[in-house]
Amino acid sequence: MMNIKSRIEAMNRLGRAMADPTRSRILLSLLHEPGYPAQLAENLGLSRTNVSNHLTCLRGCGIVVAKLEGRKTRYEITDPHLTTALSALVDVTLAVDDQVPCVDSSCPDCTTDSSGTVEDKA
């Protein structure tokens, strides 16, 4: 069972992982599918060194794991529960943005006006 100290440490690791825009881009990519450093670098328009440094940080935070596949290393989110939680966190964050409609069509706190814009009832 997690005590308050371990919960704070977990939140700090997660915050550190997401605090950098490049790490956030890598995380969003890995939420979609596992990736290899060279592939991530190419897809995100970054250097391999930059991607490798950020992947090292994400590993240190406990957010991603590296799996050796012969001479290649595949990176993925540590646990499927974390993938679900990170995806939900992104969705919730977007839902509270005034410029982005609510992603949950069954949300009891939101309504859609005549223009199709979702408004928060609260």
With beta carbons less than 8 A apart as the criterion, state whether 68 and 34 touch.
no
Note the pTM of the prediction, 2 decimals.
0.72
Rounded distance between C-alpha atoms, residue 65 and residue 59, angstroms: 6
Q: Could you read off the pLDDT of 55-112 as tens digits, one per residue?
A: 999 999 899 999 999 999 999 999 999 999 988 888 877 666 667 666 666 766 665 4
Which three-class secondary structure state does DSSP give residue 10?
helix
